[in-house]
Amino acid sequence: MLSSKKKYIVNSNSRIKAQIQFADQKQEFNKRPTKIGRRSLSRSISQSSTDSYSSAASYTDSSDDETSPRDKQQKNSKGSSDFCVKNIKQAEFGRREIEIAEQEMPALMALRKRAQGEKPLAGAKIVGCTHITAQTAVLMETLGALGAQCRWAACNIYSTLNEVAAALAESGFPVFAWKGESEDDFWWCIDRCVNVEGWQPNMILDDGGDLTHWIYKKYPNMFKKIKGIVEESVTGVHRLYQLSKAGKLCVPAMNVNDSVTKQKFDNLYCCRESILDGLKRTTDMMFGGKQVVVCGYGEVGKGCCAALKAMGSVVYVTEIDPICALQACMDGFRLVKLNEVIRQVDIVITCTGNKNVVTREHLDRMKNSCIVCNMGHSNTEIDVASLRTPELTWERVRSQVDHVIWPDGKRIVLLAEGRLLNLSCSTVPTFVLSITATTQALALIELYNAPEGRYKQDVYLLPKKMDEYVASLHLPTFDAHLTELTDEQAKYLGLNKNGPFKPNYYRY
Site for a second copy in 271-310 (CB under 8 A): 272-273, 276-277, 280-282, 284-291, 299, 306-307, 309-310
CA atoms within 13 A on the CB side of 87: 18
DSSP lists the bridge partners of residue 84 as 176
What is the distance between the alpha carbons of residues 348 and 371, in angstroms, rounded to a whole number? 6
Binding a second copy by CB under 8 A: which of 14, 23, 73, 482? 482
Tell me: does residue 314 bind a second copy (CB under 8 A).
yes
Is 61 annotated for ligand binding?
no
Binding a second copy by CB under 8 A: which of 19, 24, 247, 323? 323
Is 133 annotated for ligand binding?
yes
What is the distance between the alpha carbons of residues 279 and 284, in angstroms, rounded to a whole number? 7
Binding a second copy by CB under 8 A: which of 145, 336, 392, 450? 336
Tell me: does residue 353 bind a second copy (CB under 8 A).
yes
Is 418 annotated for ligand binding?
no
Is 496 annotated for ligand binding?
no
| Residues from 391 through 430 that contact a second copy (CB under 8 A) | 397-401, 411, 426-427, 429-430
CB of 267 to a second copy, least distance (A): 10
Q: Which residues contact 79 (CB under 8 A, 6 or more apart)?
A: none
Radius of gyration of the chain (CA): 23
Binding a second copy by CB under 8 A: which of 19, 52, 67, 221? 52
| Residues from 372 through 391 that contact a second copy (CB under 8 A) | 380
Sign of CA dihedral 439, 117, 131, 253: negative
Is 302 annotated for ligand binding?
yes
Based on the number of CB atoms within 10 Å of its own CB, is 304 exposed (0-12), middle (13-18) or buried (19 or more)? buried
Tell me: does residue 219 bind a second copy (CB under 8 A).
no
Nearer to a second copy, 196 or 336 (CB): 336
Tell me: does residue 337 bind a second copy (CB under 8 A).
yes
- Please tell me whether residue 433 adopts helix, strand or coil conformation: helix
Cis peptide bond prior to 500, omega within 30° of 0? yes
What is the distance between the alpha carbons of residues 286 and 224, in angstroms, rounded to a whole number? 58
Tell me: does residue 43 bind a second copy (CB under 8 A).
no
Binding a second copy by CB under 8 A: which of 70, 72, 218, 355? 355
Residue 266 is given by DSSP the state: I
CB 40 within 8 A of CB 156: no
CA angle 262, 296, 1 (to 5 degrees): 70
Tell me: does residue 340 bind a second copy (CB under 8 A).
yes
CB of 344 to a second copy, least distance (A): 6
- Please tell me whether residue 253 adopts helix, strand or coil conformation: strand
| Residues from 102 through 161 that contact a second copy (CB under 8 A) | 103-104
Candidate segments 79-87, 153-161, 176-184, 489-497, binder of a second copy by CB under 8 A: 489-497
Tell me: does residue 496 bind a second copy (CB under 8 A).
no
CB 133 within 8 A of CB 98: no
Tell me: does residue 1 bind a second copy (CB under 8 A).
no
Count of residues touching a second copy (by CB under 8 A)? 115
Residue 425 is given by DSSP the state: S
CB of 330 to a second copy, least distance (A): 4
Is 232 annotated for ligand binding?
yes
What is the distance between the alpha carbons of residues 409 and 393, in angstroms, rounded to a whole number? 10
- Please report, in range form, the residues annotated as the binding site for NAD(+): 298-303, 319, 422
